[in-house]
Amino acid sequence: MTSISDYSEQLIPLTRDELVAKLKIALDSNRFHHVLRVEQTAIDLAKANGVDLEKASIAGLCHDYAKQRSDADFLAAIDRYGLAPDLKNWANPIWHGVVGAELVKHELGVWDEDILNAIRHHTTGDATMSLLEQVVYMADYIEPGRDFPGVEQARQLTHKLLALGVAYQTKRTLEYLLDHGSPIYPATILTYNAWVPKYEGEING
């Protein structure tokens, strides 16, 4: 297990300890410990996939930075940062990634687009995802605190090939939304089309 004690690449104007302290204030205890586990899982997946470890650490820690912000905060941020007005028709599960990335940029000073995209797309995925985006998408899904039917298969597929994990999670998430009659964010369908048919034969069984 590799861990990161501090940052040297100037991707964020904070030490890791300072960032962790900010997250401890922004999040309740359960979510704070979740983001620490996502960070570690992201670092491990980054190492296995040749991805920058500091980016994995920062994106893992920051992915849920905005999760506990009020709806009013998100609605104001959509206007302030000129995001698509249609976003106002959605809610926290979508906002904390897509809008949350803007809050991470402007409040924490992270301007690296790869890190911001990993935060933006950590819930919905995207048709095109960099390796860092895939790492964070999967780390959020399989971190050691996760315990749902299928998580072991998700872990195995992810360790075999990151893209298989992405396809598996995307399929399971869409199945869940359909089963519950939930609205489906358009990007989720694009994620499905880009990742699931391609790997369908390898993610079942």
In the complex, the residues that contact Fe ion under the rule CB under 5 A are 64, 140
Measured from the CB atom, is 168 or 199 closer to Fe ion? 168
Minimal distance, residue 200 CB to Fe ion, in Å: 26
The Cα 130–Cα 115 span in angstroms is: 10
Minimal distance, residue 139 CB to Fe ion, in Å: 9
Minimal distance, residue 96 CB to Fe ion, in Å: 6
> For 31, how many CA atoms within 13 A lie in the half-sphere containing its CB?
15
Measured from the CB atom, is 126 or 140 closer to Fe ion? 140
Measured from the CB atom, is 61 or 164 closer to Fe ion? 61
Measured from the CB atom, is 148 or 197 closer to Fe ion? 148
- The DSSP letter of residue 111 is -
Q: Find out whether 41 and 134 touch, Cβ atoms under 8 Å.
A: no
Minimal distance, residue 53 CB to Fe ion, in Å: 19
Q: Give the burial string for 87-117 (b: 16+ CB within 10 Å, else e).
A: beeeebebbbbbbbbbbbbeebebebeebbb
Minimal distance, residue 34 CB to Fe ion, in Å: 6
Residue 204: burial class (beta carbons within 10 Å; 0-12, 13-18, 19+)? exposed
Beta-carbon contacts of 26 under 8 Å, excluding residues fewer than 6 positions away, are 65, 66, 68
Whose CA is closest to 56, among 120, 119, 142? 119
Measured from the CB atom, is 49 or 92 closer to Fe ion? 92
